[in-house]
Amino acid sequence: MDLTDFFSRDAYARLTGIRMIDVGQGTARVSMKIREEHLNSHGTVHGGAIFTLADTAFALASNSHGIPAAAINASITYMKAAREGELFADAGEFAENPKLATYVVTVTDDSGDRIALFQGMVYRKPKRDLVN
């Protein structure tokens, strides 16, 4: 499966400025330069922007096996506020079976400080074209 093409069809990720850095079997790394539109009323990165970054890494990692995967559960814990610079999300496969798989995503800033921890589970669909 061409994950570059898969990622290019993610209009919301493009809108938020997320870029794909690396994808492997069950892994993905993405980044997002913090822009003014990512900030909340406190002047820190909005939780939704951080969730979107982590969710994008999760989507890439979970679809890296060539089997369409759709999220059925996701949660995030925020540990530190971010205000400027760049954020990175690194996803890795934690557990898998033919129908379900769990991923953990760590979000860090450009100093390597942990910003958030995301966990998600996907249902692996029968193989078909990912455009649908």
| Residues whose CB is less than 8 angstroms from the CB of residue 8 and which lie 6 or more positions away in sequence, other chains included | 14
Q: Residue 87: its pLDDT value, please?
A: 98
Pick the CATH number of 3-124 from 3.40.50.620, 3.20.20.70, 3.10.129.10, 3.40.630.10: 3.10.129.10
Q: Residue 125: its pLDDT value, please?
A: 85
Distances (CA, A) of 125 to 11, 19, 70: 22, 26, 7
Domain ranges of the chain: 3-124
Q: And the tokens for 127? A: 């193989």
DSSP H helical segments within 11-94, as ranges? Answer: 11-16, 47-62
Q: Residue 23: its pLDDT value, please?
A: 96
Q: Residue 127: its pLDDT value, please?
A: 65
> In which residue ranges of the chain is pLDDT below 50?
132
Q: Residue 82: its pLDDT value, please?
A: 98
